[in-house]
Amino acid sequence: MVDKEAARTVTGWLRLADRVAGVKPVEGRCDRCGATGYLSQTNKESLCAGCYLDGDAETS
């Protein structure tokens, strides 16, 4: 479970981490929930912060 406030916080972390790593930020539509925003690229999907965390939790 990731509420909107937590997702926004995580998005901030991801954005910062990517900036530090020199990765170009990816903005677009989440492959899982369809939300538009900052995405984390996995090996097969582009996920928003909330789905990215949910996915990690479900697969563990």
Q: Which CB atom, from 20 or from 38, has the smaller least distance to Zn ion?
A: 38
Q: Which CB atom, from 16 or from 33, has the smaller least distance to Zn ion?
A: 33
Cα dihedral value 30, 38, 36, 59, nearest 10? 30
How far apart, in whole angstroms, are the C-alpha atoms of residue 59 and residue 19? 27
CB of 23 to Zn ion, least distance (A): 19
How far apart, in whole angstroms, are the C-alpha atoms of residue 8 and residue 59? 22
Q: Which CB atom, from 14 or from 48, has the smaller least distance to Zn ion?
A: 48
Residue numbers of the site for Zn ion (CB under 5 A)?
30, 32-33, 35, 48, 51
